[in-house]
Amino acid sequence: MRRTASLLILTSTILAMMMVIGACKRATIPVSPAMTTVPTLVQGGGKHTPVGISSETAQQPTSTAVVQVIGLPYPPLTHPTTFPQTGIAYPQPSPQQQPTQQISSPTASLSPSPTKTQPPELQIQATATPTLEPSTSTPELPTPTETETSESGYPPPEVNPYPTNEYSPSYPGPGENLYPTATYSEGYPGPEDTPTTQAFQQVQASPTAPGYPGPSTPTSPVLGTPLTATAPSTGARVPSPTPYAGTPGATPTELPPRPPLSPPPAGSSVTIWHSWSVTETEVLRSVIRSFQRMYPDVTFTLSYVPLDDLYSTYEEAAYLGHGPSLLLGPASWGPNLFKETLVSDLKPFVPANYLDDLIPAGLASGEYQDALISLPLSLHGSVMFRNRALISTPPSTVDDLISRSSQATHGGVVGSYLERGSDLSAAGIIGLGGRMVGEDGYPLFDDALGIQWLDLLAAYDTAGAVTFNTNRDLQMFKLGRVGIIIDNSWNIEALKQAIGADNLAIDPWPAFGSGHMTGWVEADSIFLNANTTDNDRFASLAFMGYLLDPSVQLRLAEVGHIPSVLTTRLRDVLFQQAMEAFTDGVPYPITMDENVLSIYWDELDMAIQAVFQNGSDPEAALKRASDRIYQTIKIMRSVP
C-alpha cells in the first residue's frame, strides 16, 4: 500500500514538472500578427488598386508585410481610348470604344488633374530618352478631380485601326482625370507612313520659291514653303486643278518641303489645342515628327479638348494670358476671338504671294476688319453630286443641266432633285455677282441680281424635282433614283457607300446668267494665340506654314481633310473634285451673328415660298423680305 502511494506521488511530480517545462517552452515562441488582404478602392493611376491592410492593433509591435495581388481584372472601359506613343490613354469626344495603339518604348508619368483653363498636355520632344532608376517606394497618386466630358459631332469620330498593344495602361475611373499628362523623348525619327493609307509621296517645292526668313527679319517670318501656282484673290473665278477620271496614277518620288532659311531658335516650343479624332491625331503626330526631323530642338505639346469645351476653355485661358500657341478650330470662332484680342493678326507675318495659293473662299473665311485672323487648314461645304450611272457627263451650264436631267428622267428615276431652301441656295446670289448682306449687316439682295437668283431657282422646276428644306433629295440619291443633287461635302463617304465610289462624282458649278451656281464654303482653321511671342511665335508660325505645305495637305487628306491649298495633288478623286468646286464657292458669312443670320434665312425662305407657291411678283417678294430684315435688325440694335 505504501509502495503504491509512493508511485502515485512520483508520477504526479513528474507530470507537474513536464507541464511546467512545456509552459516555459511555449512562452519563448513569438506570436505573429495576423494579416488579411482587403481590396481597397484607391482612385488614382487610372484603376482600382488592391491594398494590403493589417488587422493588428496599435499596441502590437510594428510588422511589415508585402501582399501581392495578381489577376485582378481591370474595370470595364467607359470611354474610347487609344494609347499613342506616350503610352497614356487619349480620350476622345465619342463615347464608343476604340481599340488601342501599339506603344514603342514610352516613358510616361501621371500629373495632377487639369483645370478648365489649362488642359492636360502631351509632350513631344526630340531628345534622348532618359534612363529611369527603379523605385521601391509607392508613387504618390494624383488627386482625382471631376472632368467635363461632352460628345461632339465635329469632327466626326473615326475608328482607330491600330492593333491593341500587349501593355494596356488602365483608364481613369469615374471622377478621375481624363487628361493624363505624359512626357516622352524620342530619337531622330525615320520615315513614317500612316498605317491606314498607302505610303504617301510628297509634293516637290518649287526650286525658285524663297524659303522662310531668318531671325534677321522678325517682322515678316514666312509661314511655309511658298507655292508656285497663283490664283487671283479678287473673288474672280480661279483656275481649277485639272479634272480627271479614275484613280490617279502613282506620282514620282519627290523632294520634301524646303526648310526655312534659318531654323526656329533652339528651345522654342509649340503648344496645340485641338478636338481631332484618334485617327486624325495620329496623322498630326506624324506631321510633328516630320517637322522635328528638320528642327529637333523644337518641343511640341499636343492637347485634346472636346469640341463643345474647346472655345470656352481657350477663351478663358487666353484671357488670363495663357493657352496654347496654336488653336485648331472652326473659322467661325475667329471674329469674336479677334475682337477680344485673343488671336493675332497674321498679315505682318505672311507674304502676299503665299496667299495666292489658297482657295479664295477658304482664305476669305479668315479675313476680318482688314486683318488676317486665321489660315484655312481644310475646307468643307456645299457641292453638286452626280450619279455617273444615270448622267454620264457633267453639265457645264444650267441649260445643259436641264437637258441632261430631262433625258435621265424615266422609269422612276429623276434627273435632278434640287434644294431651294435659302440656307443652301442663297449662296447663288453671290455666285451671280450680287451681295446678300452689306458690311453694316443690312440686306443688299433686293436688286436685279437678286431677281436673277430667283430665275435660277425657277429653272430647278424645269430640270426636275425640287425640295424645300428637307433631306428627301439625299435619301432618293442614296437609293440610286436621282441623277444630281446639291448637298454638303461631309456626305461624301455615305454616298460612296450608297451608290458606289465609281458611280459618284462632284461636278464644277454650272454657269448661269451673269455668273454661276455655287455653294457655301467653310474652313477648319489655324489660329495664333495673341499671347505667343518671341521664339515660340517664330516656331509656331513656321509650323503653321508647314501644315499648309502641299505634301502635308496631302497627308491630312488621307484622314478626311479636304485641302485648302490649290497645288495639292490628291489620290482621292472626289476630294480633288471637291477642291475644284470650292474654287468657285463663296465663303459662309461667319462674321454675322447667328441670330441675325437666322432672320435672313427665314425672310428669304418666305420670299421663295411667296414666289413659287403663291405666285407673288419676284421683285415685290424680295422688297418685302429686305424691308422686314432691315426693320428687325434696326429694332435689335436699338435695344441697349
pLDDT digit string (tens) for 563-619? 999 999 998 999 999 999 999 999 999 989 889 999 999 999 999 999 999 999 999
Give the separation between CA 518 and CA 486, rounded to whole angstroms.
Answer: 10
Q: Could you report the per-residue pLDDT of 336-385, keeping only the tens digit for each?
A: 999 999 999 999 998 878 889 999 999 999 999 999 999 999 999 999 99
Q: Hey, which of 171-185, 192-206, 320-334 has the most confident mean pLDDT?
A: 320-334
Q: Could you give the CA distance from residue 604 to residue 598 in angstroms, rounded to a whole number?
A: 10
Lowest mean pLDDT among 62-66, 367-371, 464-468, 574-578: 62-66
- Is residue 194 pLDDT above 90, yes or no? no
Mean pLDDT of 144-150: 36
Which is more confidently placed, 101 or 313? 313
| Residue 395 exposure: Cα atoms within 13 Å on the Cβ side | 30
Find all residues with CB under 8 Å of 390, minimum gap 6, and list them: 408, 413, 415, 480, 482, 483
CB 277 within 8 A of CB 270: no
pLDDT score recorded for residue 232: 32
Output the CA torsion sign for 370, 376, 379, 383. Answer: positive
> Which one-letter amino acid corresponds to residue 207?
P
Q: Of the spans 94-108, 160-174, 512-526, which averages the highest pLDDT? A: 512-526
Confidence of residue 68 (pLDDT cuts 50, 70, 90): very low
Q: What is the mean pLDDT of residues 90-106?
A: 38
User: Of all residues in the chain, what percent carry a pLDDT higher than 70?
Assistant: 61
Residue with cell 469640341: 307
According to CATH, the topology of domain 382-521+590-638 is D-Maltodextrin-Binding Protein; domain 2 (3.40.190)
For residue 9, name the pLDDT band (cuts at 50, 70, 90): confident
pLDDT, position 16: 73
pLDDT at 162 over 80: no
Q: Span 164-176, mean pLDDT? A: 34
Main-chain dihedrals φ then ψ at residue 252, nearest 5 degrees: -65, 155
At 190 the pLDDT is: 32
Integer Cα distance of 538 and 522 in angstroms: 27
Q: Would you say residue 51 has pLDDT above 70?
A: no
Confidence of residue 625 (pLDDT cuts 50, 70, 90): very high
Band the pLDDT of 2: cuts 50, 70, 90: low
Of the candidates 397, 331, 381, the one whose C-alpha atom is nearest the C-alpha of residue 578 is 381
In sequence order, which residues have a C-beta less than 8 Å from that of residue 553 and are 6 or more positions away?
A: 378, 547, 561, 563, 564, 565, 568
> In whole angstroms, what is the distance from residue 148 CA to residue 515 CA?
48
Q: Taking Cα atoms as reference points, which of 149, 405, 382, 186 lies closest to residue 288?
A: 186
- As a whole number, the mean pLDDT across the chain is 73
Q: What is the SS3 assignment for 570-629? A: CCCHHHHHHHHHHHCCEECCCCCCHHHHHHHHHHHHHHHHHHHCCCCCHHHHHHHHHHHH
pLDDT of the residue at 10: 77
Q: For 224-257, write each residue's pLDDT tens digit.
A: 333 333 333 333 333 333 333 333 333 333 344 4
Give the tens place of pLDDT for each residue, 315-340. Answer: 999 999 999 999 999 999 999 999 99
Q: How far, in Å, are 222, 375, 544 from residue 205 at the CA level? A: 15, 20, 16
Nine cell digits for residue 131: 534612363
Residue-level pLDDT at 24: 55
Is it the case that residue 158 has pLDDT exceeding 60?
no
Task: Indicate whether 557 pLDDT > 60.
Answer: yes
Say whether 516 sits in a helix, a strand or coil.
Answer: strand
Task: Indicate the length of the chain as a whole number.
Answer: 640
Residue 300, helix vs strand vs coil: strand
pLDDT > 60? residue 437? yes
Backbone angles phi, psi at 370, to 5 degrees: 60, 20
Pairwise pLDDT comparison (352 vs 217), residue with the higher score: 352
Q: What is the pLDDT of residues 251-291, one digit of tens each?
A: 333 344 445 546 788 889 999 999 999 999 999 999 999 99
Lowest-confidence region among 99-103, 375-379, 482-486 = 99-103
Query: What is the pLDDT at residue 264?
Result: 85
Confidence label for 60 from pLDDT (cuts 50, 70 and 90): very low
Higher-confidence residue of 449 and 47: namely 449
Instruction: Tell whether the model's pLDDT for residue 222 goes beyond 70.
Output: no
* pLDDT > 90 fraction of the chain, expressed in percent and rounded: 55
Question: Nearest-CA neighbor of 584 among 235, 289, 303?
Answer: 235
pLDDT for residue 508 is more than 60: yes
For residue 171, pLDDT over 70 is answered with no
Q: pLDDT band at 83, cuts 50/70/90? A: very low
Confidence of residue 193 (pLDDT cuts 50, 70, 90): very low
CB 524 within 8 A of CB 377: yes
